[in-house]
Amino acid sequence: MLGKLQYLTVTHLDIVYAINLLSQFVAAPRRTHMVAVERVLRFLKCTPGQGILLTAKGPMKLEAYCDADWAGCLDTRQSCTGYLIKVGGSPVSWKSKKQSMVARSSVDAEYRAMATTVSEVIWL
């Protein structure tokens, strides 16, 4: 079930974080995790037809947004990085991932998120 939901994250950015979080418990799932999966499925059922729209018109302007939470994971105290990159108003790259190191401050977490985003922009 979770693998199919991961496939949907290609076009549904609004479930990326939830699916990323649930994927951490695949080895030892509990009832609470299944309840969370059912909640995601109900959300998808209530929002049909919503997803990514790639337009051919408009200026080819590059926009990048990033954010991080400081020590957001209560188990490991790792921060989470997220970014979205748009070209011409359409999303072309996005990511939500735990940072590999524990940040000592919110500034450190935000700086790591920005560095990850800039690296992706340079690659694009």
**DSSP for 75-103?**
TT---EEEEEEEETTEEEEEEEEE-SS--
Q: How confident is the model at residue 111 (pLDDT cuts 50, 70, 90)?
A: very high
Q: Mean pLDDT across the stretch 91-99?
A: 87
Q: Write out pLDDT tens, residues 11-63.
A: 787 888 899 889 989 899 999 999 999 999 999 999 887 777 777 777 889 99
pTM reported for the whole predicted model:
0.67
Give the C-alpha distances (Å, rounded to integers) separating 102 from 20, 27, 61. Answer: 18, 23, 34
